[in-house]
Amino acid sequence: MAGEQVRALVFDVFGTVVDWRSSVLREVEAAAARHGVTGDWGAFVDAWRYEGYLGGIAKVNRGEWPFMTTDEIHRRKLEELLPAYGLGHLPEAERADLNRAWHRLDPWPDSVPGLWRLKQRFVISTLSNGNVALLVAMAKRAGLPWDCVLGADVLGAFKPKPEAYRRGAELLGFAPGEVMLVAAHKQDLQAAMAAGLQAAFVPRPREAGPNVQPDLEPDPAFAVTARDFLELAAKLGA
């Protein structure tokens, strides 16, 4: 049985547990429609995610930006994107609300039932670059039954910095090898393994939208690969 020494499962969230792209796209399209503005809203969302969020984290990790929360990184990019897409006149209340679209991401269909099963056998926690407030609001709306919510603001570092993984295990009271990261992203899993954690790969083919095929090929070094959280539960005996 895979994962025999595992005591806690920690989860990447954006893309692994929740479908960020279609959830945020829906809210951006609704805001644009309210203001009668047309545009390539898929490109808006992708720029928000890839250039804005992932680019911002990379800047913090390289020391070019001070540490800030994911909510703050999202907001910085939003302020750039709105005028570029003809939405520069959005009032503050709508901007703040649109930034919180990232708090309202829908789970993949297997996420909630899978987490309930896994929770019976393991401590289940987020290990996300999101901030705690975002992750708690998301979990409450989506019904994600976390035992613990760990985000970059309490980990003190953004993944893939090794401190983020090690501090997560330490806060949960386990040795790194007793903790397994569940993620749809191979680089995240490889960084977790380099920090001493175990790795479970759950590819999410639809994460990047209809036109982009993510890298779905498992790495033989991963302890487990599963097509969703229910198969993961079965493979881990939960």
**21 forms bridges with which residues in the sheet?**
none
Q: Of 147, 163, 228, 231, which lies in the binding site for a second copy, with binding defined by CB under 8 A? A: 147
Could you say whether residue 140 binds a second copy (CB under 8 A)?
Answer: yes
Question: Are the C-beta atoms of residues 201 and 24 closer than 8 Å to each other?
Answer: no
Sign of the torsion angle spanned by Cα atoms 202, 140, 54, 214: positive
- With contacts defined by CB under 8 A, how many residues of the chain interact with a second copy? 20
Q: What is the DSSP letter of 62?
A: T
Q: Of 6, 172, 181, 195, which lies in the binding site for a second copy, with binding defined by CB under 8 A? A: 172
What is the distance between the alpha carbons of residues 137 and 149, in angstroms, rounded to a whole number? 11
Could you say whether residue 109 binds a second copy (CB under 8 A)?
Answer: no
Question: Are the C-beta atoms of residues 232 and 204 closer than 8 Å to each other?
Answer: no
**Minimal distance, residue 219 CB to a second copy, in Å:** 30
Could you say whether residue 149 binds a second copy (CB under 8 A)?
Answer: yes
Could you say whether residue 154 binds a second copy (CB under 8 A)?
Answer: yes
**Minimal distance, residue 226 CB to a second copy, in Å:** 23
Amino acid letter, 46: D
Q: Nearest 5°: phi and psi at 5?
A: -90, 0
Could you say whether residue 133 binds a second copy (CB under 8 A)?
Answer: yes
What is the distance between the alpha carbons of residues 202 and 229, in angstroms, rounded to a whole number? 7
How crowded is the C-beta side of 73, counted as CA atoms within 13 Å? Answer: 29
Site for a second copy in 68-87 (CB under 8 A): 71
Could you say whether residue 125 binds a second copy (CB under 8 A)?
Answer: yes
**Minimal distance, residue 9 CB to a second copy, in Å:** 13
Task: Name the site residues for a second copy (rule: CB under 8 A).
Answer: 71, 123, 125, 131-134, 136-137, 139-140, 147-149, 153-154, 171-174
